[in-house]
Structure 1
Amino acid sequence: MTSVIRAWESFLEGNPAPTGVRDEVLLSWRRSRWSGVDPERPDLPEIPVASDSRFQRTAAPVLESIAEPLVGDRTAMHLLDPDGVVMWRWVTDAQLARELDAADARVGVRWAEDAVGTSGGGTAVETDRPATVVGAEHFATKLHGWACSAAPVVHPLTRRVCGIVNVSVRAADANQHLPLVVRSMVAAVTVELRNQAGAQQRRLLETYLAWRHRTRKPLVAVDDRIAISDEIAVEHDDLWDRLVAAGPLATVIDIDALTLARIHPVTPGTLIDGAVLVVDPSPDATAPTPMAVPTDDPWTPLERAERDVIVAALDRHGGNKSRAADEIGLSRRALYDKLARYRIRR
Structure 2
Amino acid sequence: MTPQPTSTSHHRTTPKSNSDSDSEGAPASSSPAGSDYLRLSNWLQVSWSRSRQALGDDDRPAAAYVERMATDTVLERAARSVLSELTVAIENEPVSMILTDVNGIVLSRTGGDSALFTALDRVDLAPGFRYAETQVGTNGIGTALEVGRPLLVDGDQHFSGPLRSFSCAGAPVTHPITGAILGVVDLTTAAQNSNTLLLSFATLAAARLRERMLDDATELDRAIFSAYRSACRRSSRPVVAVGDEVVMMNSLTRQQFDSPDQMAILERTRDIGGETAPVTILTELPSGTVARLSYEPTFTGSRLAGGVVRITKQVASLRLSASKANVPTPPAIAGASPLWRHTVQAVVDACRRQDWLVLDGEPGVGKTALIRAAHQLVPDRGLAVLDATALGDDLLTEASDELDSGSDLAILHAHVLNDTHLAALADLLQGPQAQEPPRRPWVVLTRYSQDSTDTIPLLRMFPKSVTVPPLRHHLDDIPDLVRSLLDTLGATGLTLSPAASNQLARLAWRGNVTQLKKALEDTYRRQRSGVVEIDTLPPACRSTTRRTLTRMQALERDAIVDALALHAGDKTAAAAAIGMSRATIYRKIREFGIVL
Same-fold call, TM cutoff 0.5:
yes
**By how many angstroms is 1:18 displaced?**
2.6
Task: State the distance in 2 between where 1:232 and 1:47 align.
Answer: 41
SS at match of 2:82: helix
Aligned residue number for residue 125 of structure 2: 105
TM-score between both structures, scaled by the size of structure 2: 0.36
Aligned residue pairs: how many?
250
Aligned amino acid, residue 547 of structure 2? K
The alpha-carbon distance between structure 1 residues 104 and 167, as it changes in their structure 2 partners (threshold 3 A), is: same
Spell out the pairing of 1:159-308 with structure 2 (5 A cutoff): 159-198=179-218, 201=221, 226-227=246-247, 298-299=360-361, 301=413, 303=448, 308=511
SS at match of 2:153: strand
1:18 matches 2:244: no
Aligned amino acid, residue 63 of structure 2? L
SS at match of 1:188: helix
Does the 8 Å contact 1:59/1:189 carry over to 2?
yes
The alpha-carbon distance between structure 1 residues 8 and 320, as it changes in their structure 2 partners (threshold 3 A), is: farther
Task: State the distance in 1 between where 2:117 and 2:265 align.
Answer: 49
Task: State the distance in 2 between where 1:323 and 1:200 align.
Answer: 36
Task: State the distance in 1 between where 2:448 and 2:38 align.
Answer: 52
Aligned residue number for residue 86 of structure 1: 106
Task: State the distance in 2 between where 1:101 and 1:321 align.
Answer: 30
Aligned residue number for residue 155 of structure 1: 175
SS at match of 1:132: strand
User: Among 34, 38, 46, which residue is 2:65 paired with?
Assistant: 46
Task: State the distance in 1 between where 2:61 and 2:29 align.
Answer: 16
Of all paired residues, the percent bearing the same amino acid is 26
Does the 8 Å contact 2:63/2:130 carry over to 1?
yes
**By how many angstroms is 1:151 displaced?**
1.0
The alpha-carbon distance between structure 1 residues 160 and 76, as it changes in their structure 2 partners (threshold 3 A), is: same
Task: State the distance in 2 between where 1:3 and 1:298 align.
Answer: 53
CA displacement, residues 148-174 of structure 1 (integer Å, 9 cap, x when unaligned) = 001111111111111111110111111
Does the 8 Å contact 1:38/1:140 carry over to 2?
no
The alpha-carbon distance between structure 1 residues 68 and 114, as it changes in their structure 2 partners (threshold 3 A), is: same
Gaps of 5+ in 2: 1-12, 18-26, 223-241, 250-261, 267-338, 345-358, 363-412, 414-446, 452-509, 519-539, 554-596
Structure with more relative contact order (C-alpha pairs < 8 Å, separation 6 or more): 1
The alpha-carbon distance between structure 1 residues 141 and 109, as it changes in their structure 2 partners (threshold 3 A), is: same
Aligned residue number for residue 86 of structure 2: 66
**By how many angstroms is 1:124 displaced?**
0.6
The alpha-carbon distance between structure 1 residues 227 and 2, as it changes in their structure 2 partners (threshold 3 A), is: closer
Gaps of 5+ in 1: 203-219, 235-291, 328-346
Task: State the distance in 1 between where 2:113 and 2:192 align.
Answer: 16
**By how many angstroms is 1:69 displaced?**
2.2
The alpha-carbon distance between structure 1 residues 181 and 222, as it changes in their structure 2 partners (threshold 3 A), is: same
Aligned residue number for residue 129 of structure 1: 149
Does the 8 Å contact 2:95/2:111 carry over to 1?
yes
1:4 matches 2:16: yes
SS at match of 1:147: strand
Once the two structures are overlaid, the 10-residue window that deviates more, 50-59 or 34-43, is: 34-43
TM-score between both structures, scaled by the size of structure 1: 0.59
Task: State the distance in 1 between where 2:150 and 2:450 align.
Answer: 41
Aligned residue number for residue 55 of structure 2: 36
Name the larger-Rg structure: 2
The alpha-carbon distance between structure 1 residues 110 and 231, as it changes in their structure 2 partners (threshold 3 A), is: same
Does the 8 Å contact 1:60/1:88 carry over to 2?
no
Once the two structures are overlaid, the 10-residue window that deviates more, 141-150 or 14-23, is: 14-23
**By how many angstroms is 1:8 displaced?**
7.7
Aligned residue number for residue 321 of structure 1: 547
Aligned amino acid, residue 140 of structure 1? S
Does the 8 Å contact 1:17/1:26 carry over to 2?
no
Task: State the distance in 1 between where 2:47 and 2:107 align.
Answer: 23
Does the 8 Å contact 2:15/2:156 carry over to 1?
no
1:139 matches 2:141: no
The alpha-carbon distance between structure 1 residues 145 and 199, as it changes in their structure 2 partners (threshold 3 A), is: same
The alpha-carbon distance between structure 1 residues 139 and 8, as it changes in their structure 2 partners (threshold 3 A), is: farther
CA displacement, residues 41-97 of structure 1 (integer Å, 9 cap, x when unaligned) = 314222223422321121242012022225752111111111211122213422221
SS at match of 1:165: strand
Does the 8 Å contact 1:148/1:167 carry over to 2?
yes
SS at match of 1:51: coil
